[in-house]
Structure 1
Amino acid sequence: MSEAPTGEAIRVEPLVARILAANPSPFTYTGTQTYLVGTADLAVIDPGPDLPEHLAALEAGIAGRPVRAILCTHTHRDHSPASRPLQAATGAPIIGCAPLTIEDSGPRADAAFDRDYAADRVLADGETLSGAGWTLEAVATPGHTSNHLCFGLRESGALFTGDHVMGWSTSVVAPPDGDMGAYMASLDKLLGREDRVFYPAHGPEVTNPRRLVRGMMGHRRQREGQILRLLDQDVGAIPDMVARMYVGLDPRLAGAAGRSVLAHLIDLRNRGLASEDADTWRSVA
């Protein structure tokens, strides 16, 4: 994907157009991408941040066509806040992930939760939503957040992956809600599917989905192996692990890296491979 202009509806395949919001940042890359699915009538996936210029771009892209649903993959503030003004403008129901708000004062590498999100209908894994010539299937993919959903477009083999899988970066998995075990299981779930292309909320489309997913799983297993080796060397404090694992890391990102390490450690504890005593972790093997 070349650098797309913000606020312009770019058709990426016959049933799908993409509109980029003007909210670039270290965790949104060039910004949040909203997808319009359908031609005669539409579903809007990840309406994005509540920015007047983005809402104007969405209304221009919709161009007066009926909106059957406003779908949210999860409730971080770069994904769902525009659902409310868009609902007011179109009358469409807000459908998709469950509401979720987590109190979290730790160092984040992603957006905080949208406290005001409310769904008219929550989709369970495998449930579908249809319009004129399109069918979207909910695919539960917890891990980045516990309420994360992807949406599969049955007519074309596309999967809208939100923040679960992105081509430009690995997904943030930060406790208390981010769960590394669930994230790995959700990646494995995607390996069992036959999606043709992934459309993430940030970054370019993924044209070889299985290869990317295998690579992401390998990366996480490599990090887990690093942590297990450090525990065997009695390096059990998370800041010390971060210093050894992320050589040359921007100090401003050290706290967020520590959250990723913590997610791995919690997963290892759940599997009986690590234990925690105060702020020190130890190998159980």
Structure 2
Amino acid sequence: MVTSLDPMSTTAPWQVLTCNNPSPMTLEGTNTYLLGAAGADDVVVVDPGPADHPEHLQAILDATSHRSVQQILITHRHADHLGAAAALADLTGAPVRSLDPELCRSPRLGRGEARNSSPAPLRDGERISVGGVDLEVLHTPGHTADSVCFWLPQHRVMLTGDTILGRGTSMVDYPDGTLADYFATLARLQSYGDVPLLPGHGSQQPDLAAAAARYEAQRRQRLDQLHQLRRKHPDHSPAQLAELIYGPRPGVQQPVILQLINAQLDYLTS
């Protein structure tokens, strides 16, 4: 489960390593992507995974042992994507870059000393070329405020992090993430058309625009459902509304359900 080549193409310039951290939120586990053309000396690591899975960190090191890791890129702040970044940076000498400056860090040098300056944060529209692969950074807030996707224009494929998953739907981590931002992000992703997507959890999907449209339709259906319930039960608390919509035994933890409801209520009342 730790290592697998992406089946989309035998010549695809990416490899996906799936961490053994399955759960209702992470599906089969967190996907780490290694970006670099076959035979290239350099590679980029996207989302090195959680901190408490040394076997996954070792799998990344093994898979990049004949290459130089140039950058470690983070799609968003959640620990199942970011946790191993500091250790990987120190072991490879590569900087960690995120949209959030607070998450960027330089590798430690000898005797535990860090470099004086942090690497520049990612920015929307930035283009990065490493290992024969070009990628463009898209700021795609909604799941979290700092979420980004990575567009590979040469290969017309999108790395979506947790913005769109391999199956099911993604959460809005309210109040950091908002539905207003998420709808804008989904509209932006739909503009890329029927290109493949590589998610942060789950398997690749063949049609980014269709997946984004499906996410939008599901969210708007929930909003309509919540709107009708609020009219019928104006005195209900968010927890009571959540139980009416998701049932007494939802498939995810109650705090997550309340985040979803509060994100929807914020959207309806803003």
**Distance in 2 (alpha carbons) for counterparts of 1:250 and 1:75:** 25
For 1:18, the equivalent position in structure 2 comes to 16
Letter in 2 for 1:91: G
CA-CA distance at 1:231 after TM superposition: 1.8
**Distance in 1 (alpha carbons) for counterparts of 2:122 and 2:193:** 21
- Please give the per-residue CA displacement for 1:58-111, whole angstroms capped at 9, x wherever unaligned: 0111122011211000111100121111111211121232146xxxxxxxxxxx
Query: Which of the residues 34, 40, 64 maps onto 1:36?
Result: 34
CA-CA distance at 1:257 after TM superposition: 1.4
Instruction: Kindly report which structure 2 residues correspond to 1:70-85, keeping only aligned pairs within 5 A, or say none.
Output: 70-85=72-87
> Is 1:211 aligned with 2:210?
yes
Letter in 1 for 2:24: P
CA-CA distance at 1:251 after TM superposition: 8.3
Is the deviation greater in 248-257 or in 191-200?
248-257
Is the deviation greater in 27-36 or in 229-238?
229-238
For 1:52, the equivalent position in structure 2 comes to 54
CA-CA distance at 1:212 after TM superposition: 1.4
Taking a change above 3 Å as real, the CA distance of residues 9 and 61 of structure 1, as seen in their structure-2 partners, is farther
**Distance in 2 (alpha carbons) for counterparts of 1:43 and 1:255:** 34
Say which SS state the counterpart of residue 32 (structure 2) adopts: strand
Tell me the number of residue pairs that the alignment of Structure 1 and Structure 2 aligns. 250
CA-CA distance at 1:249 after TM superposition: 2.9
Q: CA RMSD in A?
A: 1.8
**Distance in 2 (alpha carbons) for counterparts of 1:242 and 1:156:** 42
Letter in 2 for 1:69: Q
For 1:67, the equivalent position in structure 2 comes to 69
For 1:179, the equivalent position in structure 2 comes to 178
Give the % identical residues. Answer: 33
For 1:243, the equivalent position in structure 2 comes to 243
Query: Which of the residues 92, 95, 116 maps onto 2:94?
Result: 92
Taking a change above 3 Å as real, the CA distance of residues 87 and 74 of structure 1, as seen in their structure-2 partners, is same
Letter in 2 for 1:241: L
Runs ≥4 residues deviating over 6 A? none
**Distance in 2 (alpha carbons) for counterparts of 1:176 and 1:99:** 19
Say which SS state the counterpart of residue 78 (structure 1) adopts: helix
For 2:143, the equivalent position in structure 1 comes to 144
**Distance in 1 (alpha carbons) for counterparts of 2:92 and 2:259:** 39
For 1:106, the equivalent position in structure 2 comes to none
> TM-score with structure 2 length normalisation?
0.87
For 2:122, the equivalent position in structure 1 comes to 123
Say which SS state the counterpart of residue 168 (structure 1) adopts: coil
Letter in 2 for 1:198: L
Is the deviation greater in 190-199 or in 141-150?
190-199
Taking a change above 3 Å as real, the CA distance of residues 78 and 223 of structure 1, as seen in their structure-2 partners, is same
**Distance in 2 (alpha carbons) for counterparts of 1:56 and 1:258:** 37
CA-CA distance at 1:234 after TM superposition: 3.3
- Please give the per-residue CA displacement for 1:184-236, whole angstroms capped at 9, x wherever unaligned: 11111101123621101100101122111111100000000011111221334
For 2:257, the equivalent position in structure 1 comes to 257
Gaps in structure 2 of 5+ consecutive residues: 106-117
Say which SS state the counterpart of residue 79 (structure 1) adopts: helix
Gaps in structure 1 of 5+ consecutive residues: 101-115, 271-285
